[in-house]
A and B are shown apart, each in its own frame.
Chain A
Amino acid sequence: AQSVTQLGSHVSVSEGALVLLRCNYSSSVPPYLFWYVQYPNQGLQLLLKYTSAATLVKGINGFEAEFKKSETSFHLTKPSAHMSDAAEYFCAVSDSSGTYKYIFGTGTRLKVLA
């Protein structure tokens, strides 16, 4: 069965510092992987997705993620954190068994310090 593990339920960075949010997946087939962001009292917004094209995926708001098959990882990065990046981030894998439902990680809450 596919699964996603997000390391670190809370991450704090200073404004202007590198953001690194970790995601490892488990899948027996090439996965589709996603990062979503959820601002307080909001829905889920897609940041970026990996669908077996380029391994380095660029998303919105300056975020990017690199698919590393050897490490079964899909970590999310942003070179310079902004106060507006404070939110909860979810990594997800698309279930390849036929339903393509999303299996979400437990989320990482990013705090940006002034």
Chain B
Amino acid sequence: DSGVTQTPKHLITATGQRVTLRCSPRSGDLSVYWYQQSLDQGLQFLIQYYNGEERAKGNILERFSAQQFPDLHSELNLSSLELGDSALYFCASSVDLTGTEAFFGQGTRLTVV
């Protein structure tokens, strides 16, 4: 158990809908990362937050947004969903910005039908 909790584990929704994925980082970790894992794109970095502030953006679509709350949990919002958004979405957390280790959650498997 990495200590990073992601909910829900599975999500099935229809095209055009909006969903929210939740991540609770390890206790004491200030940095949260979101990644998308799909068959065609592999593991792609989406966005990073550090202590409530957006730190970096990767290949995140404009239909996607995220935030980190004062209690440090984070949410990834995906809207106007398309079939191609079906993927495994991972959250990872680290204590700081030294890059020495990040801990990954079990992921949320999103299926868009």
Give residues in A with beta carbon < 8 Å to B: 32, 34, 36, 42-46, 49, 51, 90, 94-96, 98-107
Per-residue CB proximity of B73-106 to A under 8 Å, as 1/0? 0000000000000000010101001111111111
CB within 8 Å for A43 and B104 given contacts A90-B43, A99-B56, A101-B33: yes
The B contact surface, by secondary structure, is strand
Is there a chain A Cβ closer than 8 Å to B16's Cβ? no
B33 cross-chain contacts in A, Cβ below 8 A? 101-102
B-side contacts of A96, CB under 8 Å: 99
A selection of 11 A-B contacts at a CB cut-off of 8 Å is A32-B100, A36-B104, A43-B2, A44-B92, A46-B101, A49-B100, A90-B43, A100-B31, A102-B35, A102-B43, A103-B45
How many residues belonging to B are interface residues under a CB distance threshold of 8 Å? 25
Inter-chain contacts of A44 with B (CB < 8 A):
90, 92, 104
Most buried by A among B35, B90, B99: B99
Q: Are B45 and A102 in contact (CB under 8 A)?
A: yes
Given A49-B100, A99-B56, A101-B48, A43 and B105 touching (CB < 8 A)? yes
Residues of B within 8 A of A102 (CB): 33, 35, 43, 45, 92, 102
Give chain B residues whose Cβ lies under 8 Å from the Cβ of A104.
Answer: 42-43
Residues of A near B94 (CB, < 8 A) are 100
Is there a chain A Cβ closer than 8 Å to B25's Cβ? no
Complex interface residues of chain B between 4 and 30 (CB less than 8 A to chain A) = none
Q: Is the CB of B55 within 8 A of A99?
A: yes
Q: Chain B residue with minimal CB distance to A90?
A: B43
Contact between A94 and B99, CB atoms less than 8 A apart: yes
Q: Which residue of B lies closest to A101 (CB)?
A: B45
